Structure 1
Amino acid sequence: MSKMIVKAEGNHFIAERVFEAPRELVFKAFTEEEHLRQWWGPRGWVLTVCNVDFRPGGSWHYCMKCEDRNQGDFYGMESWGKAVYREIEEGEKIVYVDYFSDAEGKESAEMPSTQVTLTFEENDGKTKVVSVAEYASAEAVRQVLDMGMEQGFTETWDRLAEHLQANR
Structure 2
Amino acid sequence: MTDRLSAPFVFEQFVNAPRELVYAAFTEAEHLSHWMRPPGMVMTQCGVDAREGGSFHYALRAEAMPLAPVMWGKWTFRELKAPERIVAVVQFSDAAGGVTRHPMAAQWPLYTLSTTTLVQESEGTRIHLEWRALNAEQIEEAVFNSSHAGMTVGWSSSMQLLASYLGKIQAA
User: Which one of the candidate residues 121, 140, 145 is aligned to 1:142?
Assistant: 145
Q: CA deviation at 1:77?
A: 4.4
State the partner residue of 2:125.
Answer: 127
Change (3 A) 1:134 1:108: same
Query: Pairwise CA RMSD of aligned residues?
Result: 2.1
Consecutive aligned runs of 4 or more in structure 1 exceeding 3 Å deviation: 142-146
| C-alpha separation in 1, matches of 2:154 and 2:100 | 20
Q: Kindly indicate whether residue 95 of structure 2 is the aligned counterpart of residue 92 of structure 1.
A: no
State the partner residue of 1:58.
Answer: 54
**Contact 1:11-1:141 within 8 A present in 2 as well:** no
Q: Which amino acid aligns with 2:26?
A: F
**Contact 1:20-1:125 within 8 A present in 2 as well:** yes
| C-alpha separation in 2, matches of 1:151 and 1:68 | 20
**Contact 2:9-2:145 within 8 A present in 1 as well:** no
What secondary structure is seen at the aligned counterpart in 1 of 2:10?
Answer: strand
| C-alpha separation in 1, matches of 2:168 and 2:144 | 33
State the partner residue of 2:3.
Answer: none
Q: Kindly indicate whether residue 100 of structure 2 is the aligned counterpart of residue 108 of structure 1.
A: yes
5+ long unaligned stretches in structure 1: 1-9, 70-74
Identity of aligned residues (%): 37
5+ long unaligned stretches in structure 2: 1-5
State the partner residue of 1:31.
Answer: 27
The size of the alignment, in residue pairs, is 154
**CA deviation string 1:97-129 (max 9, x = no partner):** 000111111112554111111000001131000
| C-alpha separation in 2, matches of 1:104 and 1:158 | 30
Q: Which amino acid aligns with 1:14?
A: V
Q: CA deviation at 1:151?
A: 1.9
**Contact 1:17-1:128 within 8 A present in 2 as well:** yes
| TM-score normalised to structure 2 length | 0.82
| C-alpha separation in 1, matches of 2:88 and 2:117 | 12
Change (3 A) 1:144 1:81: farther
Q: CA deviation at 1:79?
A: 1.4
| TM-score normalised to structure 1 length | 0.83
What secondary structure is seen at the aligned counterpart in 1 of 2:61?
Answer: strand
| C-alpha separation in 1, matches of 2:11 and 2:69 | 26
